[in-house]
């Protein structure tokens, strides 16, 4: 085993710490970006299915109930009726935001969706550095 001086070894450990931290941050950002984009697409597909080409939907709460039940069975608890409703709302209220999906986490967007006033919601987006 080579004779490594403690300071050299500590430097090596520190370099690994920096590399691993950056790699984990990058991975989190990428996963978050894909997750937000996917949730937006789920919302889009729900809207398109509900509207069937019409400008306004014959809003069917039964669709979300059935879809939630089936998706939970296949993919797990992240697809409750309320989560599907939020994905749908995400697409309706922030359809262009998917292009900037790496800026915030899904939890942040979830909070923004609670703001019904579009002007107020856009104000917060601008404050967060998202020019929507």
Domain membership flag for residue 13: no
- Asked if 50 contacts 91 with a C-beta cutoff of 8 angstroms, the reply is no
**What average pLDDT does range 98-126 have in this prediction?**
83
Domain membership flag for residue 95: yes
Domain membership flag for residue 91: yes
Other Cβ atoms closer than 10 A to 97: 20
Domain membership flag for residue 14: no
What pLDDT does 108 receive?
Answer: 86
- Asked if 93 contacts 113 with a C-beta cutoff of 8 angstroms, the reply is yes
Domain membership flag for residue 2: no
Domain membership flag for residue 25: no
Is residue 117 predicted with pLDDT exceeding 60?
yes
Is residue 74 predicted with pLDDT exceeding 60?
yes
Q: Which domain holds residue 63?
A: 35-127
Other Cβ atoms closer than 10 A to 108: 15
What pLDDT does 42 receive?
Answer: 93
Whole-angstrom Cα distance, residue 22 to residue 28? 10
pTM of the model: 0.75
Collect all residues with Cβ–Cβ distance below 8 Å to 44 and sequence separation of at least 6.
91, 95
Sequence length of the chain is 132
On average, the pLDDT of the chain sits at 85
Domain tally, the chain: 1
Whole-angstrom Cα distance, residue 88 to residue 4? 58
DSSP 131: -
Lowest mean pLDDT among 41-55, 62-76, 95-109: 95-109
Domain membership flag for residue 29: no
Domain membership flag for residue 57: yes
């Amino acid at each position: 085993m080579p004779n490594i001086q403690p300071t050299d070894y500590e430097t090596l450990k520190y370099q690994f710490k920096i590399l691993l931290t950056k790699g984990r941050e990058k991975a989190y950002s990428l996963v978050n970006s894909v997750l937000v984009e996917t949730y937006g697409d789920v919302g889009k597909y729900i809207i398109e299915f509900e509207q069937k080409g019409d400008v306004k939907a014959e809003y069917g709460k039964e669709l979300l109930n059935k879809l939630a039940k089936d998706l939970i069975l296949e993919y797990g608890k992240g697809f409750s009726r309320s989560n599907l409703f939020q994905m749908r709302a995400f697409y309706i209220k922030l359809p262009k935001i998917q292009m900037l999906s790496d800026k915030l986490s899904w939890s942040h967007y979830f909070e923004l969706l609670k703001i019904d006033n579009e002007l107020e919601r856009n104000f917060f987006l601008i404050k967060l550095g998202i020019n929507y």
